[in-house]
Structure formats: C-alpha cells, structure tokens
C-alpha cells in the first residue's frame, strides 16, 4: 500500500502500488466550516473492493456535491 495526498491534505488516499486501486481513504483533518459527520481518523471504504458485495444491489442516494 502507498499513500497519496493532494490539495489541502485532508484525506489520505491509500492505494495499491501494483494495480492503482484505492480500497480506502482515511480522514486526516476537516476544515472548521465542515458541517458533515466525518472526523479525523474515520475511514471511507471503496465498496467495490469488498469481496462478495453486490454494490448495485445497495440503496444509493445520489448527491449533487456541486450544490452543497
């Protein structure tokens, strides 16, 4: 596993050096104006990497991030 950060470095992107997939990220920091639930140390998992999980069978809410 390797680590990639960009921009404000609020998120640590962990990825495979061989294939490039990013199975998870960790929250490093949140801006003072952030109103969401994420806190430093939280994980965000790429569900496409979870064995035997049909991501297309999940109830997914589409969010327009541009208008947040």
pLDDT tens string, the chain, 68 residues long: the values are 999 999 889 999 999 999 999 999 999 999 889 888 899 999 999 999 999 999 889 998 888 878 77
Residue-range domain boundaries for the chain: 2-67
Contact 30, 40 (CB under 8 A): yes
Q: With b meaning 16 or more CB within 10 Å and e meaning fewer, what string describes 6-27?
A: eeeebbeebbeeeeeebeebeb
CATH architecture of the domain formed by 2-67: Beta Complex (2.170)
Count of residues in the chain: 68
Distance between CA atoms of residues 65 and 49, nearest Å: 23
Nearest CA to 46 out of 16, 5, 7, 68 is that of 16
Q: Is the pTM of this model over 0.85?
A: no
């Amino acid at each position: 596993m390797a680590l990639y950060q960009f921009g404000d470095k609020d998120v640590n992107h962990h990825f495979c050096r061989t294939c490039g997939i990013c199975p998870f990220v960790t929250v490093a920091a949140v801006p003072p104006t952030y109103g969401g639930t994420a806190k430093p140390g939280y994980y965000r998992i790429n569900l496409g990497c979870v064995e035997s999980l049909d991501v297309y069978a999940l109830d997914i809410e589409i969010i327009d991030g541009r208008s947040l």
